[in-house]
Structure 1
Amino acid sequence: MKTNKLIILTLAFITSISFTSCVEDGDFTVPQNLGEEENAKLNLLLSDNTIEIKTISQVKALFSSGDNPVEITDKLVVKGYVTSSDKSGNFFKEIYLQDSPENPTDAIKVVLELNDAYNKYNIGREVYINLEGLYVGETRSRDGVTAIGGKADGDSLENLSLNQVKEKMLRSTITEEIVPLKLTLSQINESHVGMFVQIDNVEFPSNIAGEKNYFDENDRFDTKRTLQSCEGFGYSNFELETSSFANFARRTLPKKGGTLKAVVVKTFDGRDVVLALNDITDVDMNEDRCTPLNPADFKTSYEEDFESIASSNPLEGNGWISYAEEGRFNWRVLTTTDNGNPGSKIASMGAYNSGEPTNIAWLISPSIDLDAQDIEFLNFQSSNSFSDDSELELLISTDWDGTRANITSATWTKLSANIVSDDTNFRNWVDSGTTDLSTFSGNAHIAFKYIGGDNSGSASPNTGTIDGTFEIDNFKILVKK
């Protein structure tokens, strides 16, 4: 009996040592407490007049995607606020920092050899990273996400060691409330990776809601489940990814709709942008499921098919304005021979053979009264030729005064729409879907902004250039009857 008791006491002692060693400093309330030594270390760092504090965007700009990780040899420091948590097991040896607790503009990933990082780097914690001697690059997965790591192994970034975490990742005494950035599913893109976001009026499709779990037992590591939300006359879709190690992995997907808060991330292979939950408590789906609008309830209040505008360069007529912000090429009207829209007049802009490295051209609609009705949607078709890395943005302004001189100084907000992609055949035309304008009021102008240039010299257009052509037709404003 004495021997067994001794063994039990010995095991208990060893277990207590092992258990307390799992949490740095043996402090189980680390998020609420900051050691004097760590606080002094941070104060000393910030009092150093030779350091330069960089924004997250500036740090990410030090690295070009696809290149080898870059070692930071200067005295640079970056500050951010923690948006992710590994408490539930859905994140592993990584945390994300965004540049502001509310309305963030950028975020970055940090890869580190630390389990249960939430004990120290809790959500909302203000963190300063001393970058000198660290690296900025992409991880072994080459997922296209810029991250901070401890060292480089060829073209891959490796995790910060525990010692680097202790010496380089310094917490302040501040923990802010992270106010989720409200987005629709159609608005989420790569620029939001690392940010904590909120999607309202969201649900799981009826064929899996209440039937499937967050994680599929047939998958090995991660499962992607489709989310949907009603946007206009149909659904927008996005995917939620759950790790097999998440403590909610075997929970059943809710039947109803509501709100979901999550971190925007990318899949391990970098192919897709997805959402990842910090915790199951960030899913609040107890409301009725949504129903898309009925097209029969709407009519066209304004339409422009460019047929009555003279074939001209630049495009002028029916209240539309074309403006070349940079470069000499501008929007024009021409007749297309595309199989998908033969014999139709269209608005077209491309920078091929302009001879100028930068061509930025605007095509702006007449004024549209958004106060005449409660709900308005925008719809149009788009096509391209010589598809490449040129861009087409869809914008709206409610404060532009209608003069060319004030176009670039007005406030323009980017709108979401299904604009033709580079891999679409040049003869095909793509429907934009319905873009909701009901959140805007007053007199508004819609703009198509072409961003490109002739950087290919005398060579034929090819992938990697920015001189492709975008085409627009059948512009409509739809309102409720």
Structure 2
Amino acid sequence: MGGTTGNDVEPELITLDQLTPDRLNTLIKLENIQFANNALGETFADAENLLSINHTLEDCSGNNVLLRSSGFSDFATRLVPEGNGSLIAIYGVFGSDKQLLLRDVEEVQFDAERCDPNSVTINEEDIITVAEMFQSYVPGVETPLDDKFLQATVTSSDEAGNFFKSLVVQDATGGIAILVDEFDLYENYPPGQEVYVALRELCISDYNGLPQLCYTNSTSSVKRIPSSQVGNIILRSSNFGEITPVVKTIDNISLSDLNTLVQLNDIQFAPSSASMTYADTENQFSVNHTLEDCDGNTIVLRTSGFADFAGNITPTGNGSLTGVLQIFSGTLQMYLRDVSDVNMNNNRCGQTGGGGAFYEEFEGLNDFDNIFLPGWTNVATKGDRIWIKRSFDNNGFAETEAFQDSNPETENWLVTPTIVTSETASISFKSAIAFFEHDGLSVWVANDFNGDVSGANWMPLPATLAKESDGNFNWVGSGVINLTGFGAEVHVAFKYEGTAAANTTKVRIDDVRVE
């Protein structure tokens, strides 16, 4: 028996918070809604690659839902409208995400002025602090929370890729990480943004010792707040400002500082971690590096292999670092928001400005240690290999090579402390090579070196260096080289260049004497 055609179906006028299961697969109408800021200027879908795109719709109270549009749709190439207004769509769910599907773009009528969902009005008696929120928490037990609001300020940022689907907030009493199933959180929740977190659908859980806010209704093992609910739960206020990190020392950091922004002063990367990449960019693995202070206290800095700065080289100097403190299985860890939060341009612990006579035999380090000595600079400018301490027959020396390097090119510099030529006018050293394939060592001098080898004007230094005809591991004296003609204060650099494919000669330096 046939039915009739041409019947009009009236959409049900509802609000975003009325998208309930009984309305699934029905035609609904929403008013006073708009596309979120991060969707403005974008097309409805990707017509070039025929890919569907999810955009976020929001109302003026901060509630939101996804609008999903197909790359095959006739309106895929059209820009989403920038105004506020009404929309007719079919309501559905994918996984835990509520989403809307348009029948036609003409059913989107956004002609009114946009509203500001940042405006939040919450009763004062419903606002609690981080410390008050934790009063009901039983450590190790997933604890549902009351119908209250947490007022806090965002301290983390995923812009550089070191935080993943996590938003860290804090107030004067403590901090908490929030599990969020969304990327690019910094666009709506940058550091310094004040938020009100609706706790009625959230719980506190524990991830290897780190307290986190989880989504109670999630069926996933990692209970993140669904993307469609983020704006409903994490409400932005109109307040925004810089957040000042708490200055701590490594030895007085405590568990009460977890999930807060901490600044450590007078610290440096340990010799095993200095002049290394922050993380493993090739395999995109996270890497733990050791930070130390001048008293020998240490703490871990953990960096994601997906961070924009994962391939940057860790500094060799001393200074400050600001990051979010977290913990994993009893090990405290610092997380950078961006590499700009690292400022280490001072001398390392025990270093002085140099100037006087010295004699360096490279005996004060363990075998295979990276060479970090008072006043010296050791840095890679291609690849990540730097000079290391080696020894033979109880004699220590500096060594480097490109053999079996995982990087195609190797270039590193070992730079002396400052030499004041009015006090110490000459330098001498000895060099040795082995397994000759190329002349990889050169020696340079500069009078404008300030810690950055690429920023100095280097001049070649006339020195006698070990060559192929000298054989393997035979020491060759450089001769005494006068430095007075190069400037009042100079640095001498031992530069190695090689390639893993062919130019792999091993080079050694020892007995550097300035007098």
TM-score (norm 2): 0.46
Please tell me whether Structure 1 or Structure 2 has the larger radius of gyration of its CA atoms. 2
Q: Which gives a bigger RCO, structure 1 or 2 (Cα 8 Å, sep 6+)?
A: 1
Higher strand share: 2
TM-score (norm 1): 0.49
